[in-house]
Amino acid sequence: MADIDWEALRASAREVSTKAYVPYSKFPVGAAALTDTGEVVVGANVENASYGLTLCAECALVSKLHVDHGGARLVAFTCVDANGDLLAPCGRCRQLLFEHGGRALLVDSAAGVMTMDEFLPGAFGPEDLEKVQ
């Protein structure tokens, strides 16, 4: 954890939040993560008039992870609002982050940095699918 520059990661999340598309809620969110290849990937939320179709910043981040970073694994993640205050990912996004970072993914939270295993205990993942053939 000592080699992760959390302030720089939070700054990247704050910066990308300025690119969010939030005409309805006016609540921009930015997410940033460090990959196992040492690159930073970012995402911002994109709203839709049908609120249920809104894409969270984490969804945008994971999409960019595959498009721009060849599917590298996430090792550290943070998410902030427009003020730079830390936000906790929703349940859907926790599962999404788990899928692309695993149990050891470090998550920046108001309670401190924790592993995804602590943040999403008992998560269902790809290894569970392999149990039934």
Farthest CA pair distance, the chain: 48
Q: Which of 15, 39, 47, 58 is catalytic?
A: 58
Is residue 95 classed exposed, middle or buried when 0-12, 13-18 and 19+ CB atoms within 10 A define those classes?
middle
CB neighbours of residue 71 within 10 Å:
10
How far apart are alpha carbons 40 and 30 in whole angstroms? 13
Whether 58 sits among the annotated catalytic residues: the reply is yes
| Location of structure tokens 């520059």 | 5
What strand order describes the sheet that includes 29-35?
40-44, 29-35, 74-81, 106-107, 114-115
Residues annotated as part of the active site: 58
